[in-house]
Amino acid sequence: MSSADPTSARQAAPPLPPLPDLSVPRLIDIGERLVWRTWSAGLPEWFWGEGVCLLGMLRFARARGAAVPAEVVDWLRRHRDTGIEVTHVNNLAPGAAAVLVAADHADLAESAVALGRWFRESPAATRAPNGALEHWPGGVWADTTFMAGVFLGHLGEHLADPEPVRWFGEQLLAHAEILQDPATGLFAHGSHRGETIPCFWGRGNAWCALAAVEFLEVAARERVPVDPAQRAAVAAVLTRQLRALAARQPEHGVWSVLVDEQPENAGILETSAAAGIGAAMLRATAVLPECPPEIGTAGRRAVAGALAYVDAGGTLTRVSAGTVLQLIPFGYSVIRDDRQQPWGQGLALHAVAAALTAAQSPGGSR
């Protein structure tokens, strides 16, 4: 007798068709609506969702050739002036935006440097035996690769210091050692008390893929030296993951909340994961040696599929709420997805930016 409960999966709404038009004007319109709606809803805290959004806004501005948005600079200064409390790895996420903005607004650099000290020195920044930064003591989560790693990579570039970039690569590989399934290449959401839980959560795969792409882009810019062996190891991890995701992608482009289609979750779509994975796939084509062609194809399909869920008001719909590690697949079938979420807005902007860059590259569709 099966113990699986597919009730939620049977009641899931059918998928929307992917957007047929990813032209530059259409992408800019979608991006502007996402940005407007995000600021309208507000970004109240110095926390992970806000960090994902801010970085997405910066990537969107860069992809369309616009200046750093004044709203982002004002937000960073306001939080700096009122005091930034760092108690958890998720507080590092806005640091990536602070570092990138500090190139033109040097007064914001100290906020980022202080975050780097927390990563290096705080007793709250606990590590697994292999050195992976724990999300909570006793648990390594995929989320951390993005929330901490992307910040570290850009901090190293800003300071012209290879050490934070090395830490970034070390975190990616330590997390892969624990979370990447040796049989499939997919990433589990996390570990609990030293045991990896085999739930291959979509947004967790997006965090890991985007973080690995960011690391390879830092390496490719050559502003700081990067160990070639570390670079090759990260590229290998990413290639295995993206090939596995491409092989499991549905025709409409948007994976279920667990990307290996567990019976209790099949058809419960998660759009922020598709947006993040799609962005990573499109960007990976420029940094992965001999990138398999199916990765770029899957990336375009994922972005077209995810952006079909941006409504007229600029909200990415069908985004799951903040999700703690679930110990069984059923747990992922009952996470609410009926509210706007800042990480959904941010990952949608990452997808728009990646698609814009691809569309404006030689051979892209305008």
Q: Could you report the per-residue pLDDT of 198-225, keeping only the tens digit for each?
A: 999 999 999 999 999 999 999 999 999 9
Residue 74, pLDDT score: 98
- Angle, vertex CA 262, rays to CA 260 and CA 266, nearest 5: 90
The structure tokens 């690569």 sit at: 169
| Continuous H helices in 122-255 | 143-147, 149-159, 162-179, 202-221, 228-247
User: What's at 72, amino acid-wise?
Assistant: V
Q: Mean of the pLDDT values across residues 293-310?
A: 98
Is the Cα torsion angle 220, 223, 228, 229 positive or negative in sign? negative
Instruction: At 265, give phi and psi (nearest 5°).
Output: -125, -10
Structure tokens at 214: 């960011």
CATH class belonging to 20-359: mainly alpha
Predicted TM-score (pTM) of the model is 0.97
Residues 115-152 have pLDDT tens digits of 999 999 999 999 999 999 999 999 999 999 999 999 99
Residues 22-56 have pLDDT tens digits of 999 999 999 999 999 999 999 999 999 999 999 99
Q: Mean of the pLDDT values across residues 152-180?
A: 98
What separation in angstroms does the CA of 120 have from each of 62, 133, 158, 168?
30, 10, 17, 12
Given a cut of 50, whether residue 297 has pLDDT beyond it is yes
Residue 363, pLDDT score: 65
Q: Mean of the pLDDT values across residues 72-97?
A: 97
Given a cut of 50, whether residue 274 has pLDDT beyond it is yes
CA distance 325 to 190: 6
CA distance 153 to 169: 8
Residue 1, pLDDT score: 34
Domain coordinates of the chain in residue numbers? Answer: 20-359
CA distance 340 to 223: 37
86 CB contacts (<8 Å, ≥6 apart)? Answer: 92, 114, 115, 118, 122
State the pLDDT confidence band at 4, using cuts at 50, 70 and 90: confident
Q: Where are the beta strands (DSSP E) in 278-355?
A: none
CA distance 346 to 46: 14
CA distance 192 to 196: 6
